[in-house]
Amino acid sequence: MSTDKHYQGLINKYREYLPVSDKTPVVTLNEGNTPLIKADNLAKKIGLDAEIYLKFEGSNPTGSFKDRGMTMAVSKAKEEGSNAIICASTGNTSAAAAAYGAKAGMKTFVLIPDGYIALGKLSQAMMYGANIIAINGNFDEALERVIDISKNYPITMVNSLNPYRIEGQKSGAFEIIEALGDAPDYHFIPVGNAGNITAYFKGYEEWLAINKSTHLPKMMGFEAEGAAAIVRGERIMHPETLATAIRIGNPASWEKAERARDLSGGVIDSVTDDEIVEAYKMIASTEGILCEPASAASVAGLIKSNKTKAVKEGSKIVCILTGNGLKDPDNAIKYALADVKKTSADINDILRAMNI
């Protein structure tokens, strides 16, 4: 282990809670340790007298929570002697796999649904040097192909079906418990392939078992309405939502998400695209945090739950903001509806435009 004092990523920090040994070659970009930001303006805006915290996973090195799982998955792949990784992705997993693959010196293959991933994510996979395969099909089909390929070729699958992904991602729950001194009362989270809700719940369960917390939070998972397979209880063949990150019709960790819901007394519900956009804009304008549309499903879920009085006043609430809004500038510009005033460089013109 290094004697450096500065933060060196979640494997070094939480080593004793992870399936690693001194022999594991740690591939890290110093992921994790993301800010938990108190959101009093948001609480006021939605009329809820409670402590709301936003965990901004967009501050991870590749701009999403996927880095937490990828540091584990790639380190373990390397330990096992693999020299190639593959994933299906709506964008963020591909960016993370490509970055950690580059850091590890491994060949990286990413399968993406052609035309349905945000521009920033595609540019990341390109720059990190992944082999990008854009299929004429959706995420669910891409994942099926990746499972097939990883069974038949010596290429390690790094989607969240890889258990090391979940191990890494559970560290988010540890950070929340450390920051708040206990688990929150409610944990709001977007649900796509359902790996992240599974991972957080595992983290909360493990730390409850060793008395680092006193209770489990109610796990409040939200799918996009056009991709709400778990809510509807059936696979959706053609999922649709503007939140492309969670445009998934057959979540791989479906049963585990239901288990988290049931054991914690939580819910898995859906939010509409309009509700997602409302939350997306509100988080930016009230709290100064730009997350991506899919991430805003957590806060959209909180707004919806508050309307039906499903959250108790005075409680502690954490909403996970899973990815950075800079990944998706097209949607930011489209929904901000900002009035950009153009003027000459003359100060009088500028002052007129400022309207002061």
Token output for 68: 């937490």
Residues 133-162 that bind ligand F0G (CB under 6 A): 160
Q: Give the C-alpha separation, 242 to 255, whole Å.
A: 25
Report the SS3 class of residue 80: coil
Nearest approach in angstroms of CB 282 to ligand F0G is 17
Q: Nearest approach, Cβ of 256 to ligand F0G (angstroms)?
A: 10
In the list 70, 322, 325, 328, the residue contacting ligand F0G (rule: CB under 6 A) is 322
Is residue 30 left, alpha or beta, with left meaning phi > 0 and alpha meaning psi from -120 to 50?
left
- Tell me the helices (H) and strands (E) count for the chain, helix number first: 15, 10
Contact assessment for residue 33 and residue 68, using Cβ atoms and an 8 Å cutoff: no
325 is a contact residue toward ligand F0G (CB under 6 A): no
Q: Is 124 in the site for ligand F0G (CB under 6 A)?
A: no
Binding of residue 298 to ligand F0G (CB under 6 A)? no
Instruction: Give the rounded distance of the alpha carbon of 180 from its chain centre.
Output: 20
Q: What type of residue sits at position 260? A: A
Contacts of 146 (CB under 8 A, 6+ apart): 86, 87, 88, 111, 157, 159
Q: Looking at 60, 295, 306, 331, which residue binds ligand F0G (CB under 6 A)?
A: 295
The bridge status of strand 316-321 relative to strand 186-190 is parallel
267, β-bridge pairs: 220
Does position 241 interact with ligand F0G (CB under 6 A)? The reply is no
Our finding on whether 108 is near ligand F0G (CB under 6 A) is: no
Of 157 and 294, nearer to ligand F0G (C-beta) is 294
**Residue 241 three-state SS:** coil
In the complex, the smallest distance separating the C-beta of residue 192 from ligand F0G, rounded to whole angstroms, is 3
By CB under 6 A, tell whether 194 contacts ligand F0G.
yes
Which one among 42, 52, 245, 303 touches ligand F0G, defined by CB under 6 A? 245
Q: Is 226 in the site for ligand F0G (CB under 6 A)?
A: no
The DSSP symbol for 216 reads P
Which of 77, 191, 276, 299 forms a contact with ligand F0G (CB under 6 A)? Answer: 191
Closer to ligand F0G by Cβ: residue 92 or 306: 92
Spatial separation of the C-alpha atoms in residues 197 and 126, rounded to whole Å: 28
User: By CB under 6 A, which span of 7-15, 18-26, 44-52, 292-300 interacts with ligand F0G?
Assistant: 292-300
Least spacing, CB of residue 106 vs ligand F0G, in Å: 18
Q: Which of 188, 179, 189 is nearest to 213 (CA)?
A: 179
Among 32, 61, 91, 239, binds ligand F0G (CB under 6 A): 91
Instruction: List residues binding ligand F0G (CB under 6 A).
Output: 64, 66, 89-93, 160, 190-196, 245-246, 292, 294-295, 322-323
